[in-house]
Structure 1
Amino acid sequence: MTTATTTSRRIHAAFAEAGVTGRLHALDIDSGAEIDAGADEAVVTASVHKLCLLVALHQQAAEGRLDLTEQIDCPPTGRTAGPTGLAAMLDPVRMSLRDTAYLMTAVSDNTAADLLLHRIGLDAVNSATAGLGLTRTRAVHTFHDMLATIRDDAGPGRARALTDPQVVARLTALDPARTNRSTPREMTRLLRAVWRDEACPAEHGAAIRRLLGLQVWPHRLASGFPFDDVHVAGKTGSLPTVRNEVGVVEYPDGGRYAVAVFTRAASTAATLPAADAVIGTTARIAVDALRAT
């Protein structure tokens, strides 16, 4: 049995123990060595797709189509729902595109994401990923529209209905064929392009990496690397039963590893610490295997 097969089995066993199905791809950014655990399965990206939007925004800035210091207004009404950032604020806000991108990335602010989407459009996001050869990565709808499908599919019970597995099973937002989607392998390819300044010119690549490094959530990918000298930068994504994160783990010896983990829990509970933690656990298994090669 090869080391890669043993590692894949360990990863799938960890997913099973946590009560989730999972898909993972890990990639040594410099050597190209990889760990594959369902890496080519179509997955629901949820807020991970904000990374694609961030790359598209910076590509447009690099091409001179917009100025990242351009001011954008956010009135108090009509905001996309969400528990963080502008989505949770009550008063009018005026801020730059780049600060809006910070909120979208660091705290996964849905309103901030949709402000940027309204500025550049879904077609620009899909053009950015297609231009990088990510043929299975597709933005289908805004975050407002994605959340609207959940409300419509849940029916009269709305949030309470999302504890019913039969309701959750029919959600459009959880079907990769009908919602924003990608594969774990394509997400690590995108991260590699960002870290190698192939997605954008160096100035913009550095800006993207900075924002991913400012993400505030430590309970998923970063939980697998609790070391002061190891840096983790990433983007999470969450929907009912779905917990995802993609990111890059950087070691002090210069090792850089892109990791994409996408999970779906059997339980509909909103709080599942084991399902969050297994993202870090499996990422660590994969990165340790890459570092041992």
Structure 2
Amino acid sequence: MTETKARTRGRVRAAFAEAGVTGWLHAVDIDSGAQLDAGADQPVVTASVHKLCLLVALHQQAEAGRLDLSEQTTCPPRDRTPGPTGLAAMLDDVRLSLRDAAYLMMAVSDNTAADLILERVGLDAVNRTTWRLGLTGTHAVHTFREFLTLLKEDTGPGGPQALTDPRVIAGLRVLDPAATNHSTPRDMTRLLAAIWRDEACAPEHTAAMRRLLGLQVWPHRLASGFPFDDVHVAGKTGSLPTVRNEVGVVEYPDGGRYAVAVFTRASSTAAVLPPADAVIGTAARIAVDALRACRG
């Protein structure tokens, strides 16, 4: 197994290099505990992947009776966190439940929906959740509105166009794990495994979380590595200038379940970089294939 791990790690790193990214990966067989890594304990910027931690905190609060997932909240346009999807892109007043806000947060990575939930749950509760689950390398520093404000401040007067300038990129605090919401690949697979093993919450809540992760609409990263009708991929992406991430679970028809976390930084500042997206699926497939081979 040690030799297999070394070969797999080499293949993963070669795939990252060919795609023009630096990458970090952890993959684990949820049932046997067998694992593979390539920089699994590297501190990484989570970006929208941190919405998974918020989702767990929301359901833990509901399980404890501190809130009702059917609670209604109203969101007028003036209070919305910027973003290209969901509530952030809508023009009129919206009223919806916390559980429906969670759907938008996970399925289309809606920043406004995430901040609506954060207003009800609180940042401290998110950090208590990750601490209780043993995710010692994971911490939420700010809300998504604060996160985007920080990005705007550091981008300066050049606006979004300045994000193609490597000098501007180098000064972004949101790309520094020490200054923003952060985790490690190993922490994220541990969190996913806790959800899939019904350890993060009561089964009714973990089932609800698994459902939402399975409704994510983006197929171009993790899911691209598993183009099979009978293999189910559930996950959460995260994106920033030069950063492309995804964490998720790959389920095979024979019952195999594999939690995978892939975090990347591209050398190119291009906003559209298909090889950097696709290598997340490629690296995940290499790791999962190796874990499945070890199953015999």
- Identify the residue that residue 218 of structure 1 maps to in structure 2: 219
User: Paired residue for 2:241?
Assistant: 240
Q: Output the CA distance in 2 between the equivalents of 1:75 and 1:140.
A: 26
* Counterpart amino acid of residue 44 in structure 1: V
TM-score by length of 1: 0.99
Deviation of 1:84 (Å): 0.3
CA distance in 2, matches of 1:215, 1:225: 15
Runs of at least 4 residues off by over 2 Å = none
Partner Cα distance (1:191, 1:150) in 2: 28
Aligned residue in 2 for 1:150: 151
The residue type paired with residue 118 of structure 1 is: E
Deviates more, 1:185-194 or 1:152-161: 152-161
Q: Which residue of 1 aligns with 2:89?
A: 88
Q: Kindly state the Cα deviation for residue 158 of structure 1 after the two structures are TM-superposed.
A: 1.6
Q: Which residue of 1 aligns with 2:263?
A: 262
Q: How far apart, CA to CA, are the structure 1 residues paired with 2:170 and 2:293?
A: 40
Where does residue 281 of structure 2 map in the other structure? 280
Question: Which residue does the alignment assign to 1:167?
Answer: 168
Distance 1:48 1:248 in 2: 13
- Indicate the SS of the match to 2:250: strand
State the alpha-carbon separation in 2 of the partners of residues 79 and 69 from structure 1.
21
Between 1:1-10 and 1:100-109, the stretch displaced more is 1-10
Q: CA deviation at 1:154?
A: 1.0
Q: Provide the residue aligned with 2:142 in structure 1.
A: 141
Report what 2:71 is aligned to. 70
**2:290 alignment partner in structure 1:** 289
Mapped pair 1:55 → 2:56 = yes
1:229-260 deviations in whole A, cap 9, x for unaligned?
00000000000000000000000000000000
Q: For residue 166 of structure 1, report the CA deviation from its aligned partner.
A: 0.9
* TM alignment of 1:105-116, pairs within 5 A: 105-116=106-117
User: How many residues in Structure 1 have an aligned counterpart in Structure 2?
Assistant: 293
CA separation in 2, counterparts of 1:167 and 1:7?
A: 35
2:105 counterpart of 1:104 = yes
Unaligned regions of 5+ residues in structure 2, if any? none
- Report deviation, 1:115: 0.5
Q: Give the share of equivalent positions with the same residue, in percent.
A: 77
C-alpha distance in 2 between matches for 1:229 and 1:155: 47
**What is the RMSD computed on CA atoms of the aligned residues?**
0.6
How many angstroms apart in 2 are the aligned matches of 1:129 and 1:151? 28
Which residue number corresponds to residue 182 of structure 1? Answer: 183
Normalised TM-score (structure 2): 0.98
Amino acid at match of 1:128: T
The alpha carbon displacement at 1:47 in A equals: 0.2
Q: What's the CA shift string for 1:73-116, capped at 9, x where partnerless?
A: 10111311110000100000000000000000000000000010
Give deviations 1:212-231, integer Å, cap 9, x for gaps.
Answer: 00000000000000000000
Read off the aligned partner of 1:181 and give its amino acid letter: H
Distance 2:237 2:57 in 1: 18
